[in-house]
Structure 1
Amino acid sequence: MSGREDEVFHHDFYTEERWKNWLNQVKESNFKFDESAEPQGKEGAIFVNMEDDIILACLKIIAKHDRNQLSSDAALDMLSRVRDIALAEIDPISEDADLMIDSLQTSLMGSFAACECYLRKEYDEKDDINDLVKVALEAEASDDIEISLATVAEIGALILSGKELSEKTMEDIPYGLVAEWLDGIESIAAAMVGSDSYKDDEEDDES
């Protein structure tokens, strides 16, 4: 490992304390679904911000890898640290909050799988995203969850490589695991077209 890579390797892209801060905010919000069973207002935005925070940490790791500051193995190791924090089982908060966090973690499974697929270069840039969505949905319908997630991961890797996930494609997807995983891919796409501060070397403040 080079000196520069070793320096980056010991940088915390995301910490358990940061995740706990978000969970504390969820507890303090006393989050409840409204009558339409939809998350509303500031309390509902907490979960969006939690997910975005994780996604940005992942994108920072990938940006350093793409700048040749991190090897694939080192980047994958850092990504696994973030994943272990974000996907760890949490203590119950409330029925509504627990449902939202479970949905968020399911969505992030798609995000992490996509980042891993990209770092391992286990995708073909010639593949069509709409075709891959069909494959993922067919695999889900056949209860072949492993193939389904792997296909969603390739979709995400293609997004990370510069392709686009159209709104029309997302509109036609029925609710299920693929839809939730693709929500995590959509979050990656949104973060990439938003602020590109994740490409900078400076460290962020804690939330």
Structure 2
Amino acid sequence: MPETSDKQIFHEFYTEKRWNNWLQKVGESNFKLEESGDTPEKDSAIFVNMQDDVILACLKVIATCQRGENSVEETLDILSSIEEIVLKKVDSISEDTDMMIESLQNSLLATFVSFECYLNGDFDQESEISDLIKGAVEAEQDEDFEAALGYVARIGALVLDGKELPGKEMEDMPYGIVAEWMDGIDSIEAAMVGTDSYKEDDGDYEVV
């Protein structure tokens, strides 16, 4: 991993304190999954905001590379430091909350491999996202999860490059790990809506 100079990367972009504050709020929310499986959106909103906060911070890191303030290697190093914070094992809170955090971390894993794929240019700009989704689902069915994640990384890179996710394929996707990973890619697309909106201040998602 390349060394970064002392740029206050933990403070400037995303800190362990910030992640722990989200975890504290999650614990205080006393979240419970409904037996019907239809959990009200307002009850699960904290996990959505938690994920969006991480993704917005990472998009800001990428923006520094696009502006020439950091090299690709420095940018990847900063993203790696954020990944280490948000993907580390979380102490158990409750069965339902633990399940949601695990799902959130799976989604975030997909975003980090997508950021890396995008920054390294390891994707074909002419690829069709619908074909890559099909490939990811088929790889999951074959239990080739490494290949499936590779497909998802390329999808995420294409989204970062400006392509849109196909609505039908997203809606028809079977439940599974690829669907969880694609939730992270969907969140990237949502965060990018608006002209460079991710380069602004953190707004409502920031927890300090």
User: TM-score normalised to the size of structure 2?
Assistant: 0.90
Q: Which residue of 1 aligns with 2:127?
A: 127
The within-5 A match list for 1:28-47 is: 28-47=28-47
Give, as a single letter, the amino acid of the residue that structure 2 aligns with 1:84: E
- The aligned residue for residue 24 of structure 1 is 24
Partner Cα distance (1:41, 1:195) in 2? 27
SS in 2 for 1:164: coil
CA contact (8 A) 2:132 2:151 kept: yes
Matches within 5 A, 1:100-115: 100-115=100-115
**Is 1:56–2:59 an aligned residue pair?**
no
The size of the alignment, in residue pairs, is 202
Question: Gaps (5+ residues) in structure 1?
Answer: none
For the Cα contact (< 8 Å) 1:8–1:69, is it kept in 2? no
Structure 1 CA distance for aligned equivalents of residues 116 and 65 of structure 2? 12
Deviation at 1:37, TM superposition (A): 2.1
Distance (Å, rounded) in 2 between the aligned partners of 1:163 and 1:97? 33
Name the structure 1 match of 2:95. 95
Q: Shift of residue 6 of structure 1?
A: 4.9
Contact kept, 8 Å, 2:191 with 2:198, in 1: the verdict is no
Quote how far apart the aligned CAs of 1:126 are.
0.8
Structure 2 counterpart of 1:143:
143
| Secondary structure of the structure 2 residue equivalent to 1:14 | coil
CA RMSD of aligned residues (A): 1.9
**Does the CA-based 8 Å contact 1:64-1:199 persist in structure 2?**
no
Conservation of the 8 A alpha-carbon contact between 1:26 and 1:43: no
1:169 counterpart residue number: 169
CA distance in 2, matches of 1:42, 1:129: 31
Give the unaligned 5+ runs of structure 2: none
Q: Are 2:14 and 2:57, in contact at CA under 8 Å, matched by a contact in 1?
A: yes
Partner letter of residue 70 of structure 1? N
Shift of 1:141: 1.1
The one-letter code sitting in structure 2 at the alignment partner of 1:132 is L
Mapped to 1, the partners of 2:166 and 2:131 lie a distance apart of: 13
Identity of aligned residues (%): 54
Q: Is 1:185 matched with 2:189?
A: no
Deviation at 1:35, TM superposition (A): 3.2
Instruction: Give CA-to-partner distance per residue, 1:106-130, whole Å, 9 cap, x none.
Output: 1111111111100111011011111
Q: Is the 8 A contact 2:72 2:119 kept in 1?
A: yes
> Greater RCO between the two (CA within 8 Å, min separation 6)?
2
Following the alignment from structure 2 to structure 1, what is the Cα–Cα distance between the partners of residues 6 and 43?
A: 37
* TM-score normalised by L of structure 1: 0.91
Alignment deviations for residues 19-54 of structure 1 (CA, whole Å, 9 cap, x no partner): 000000011111111232233254311100000001
What SS is found at the alignment partner of 2:70? coil
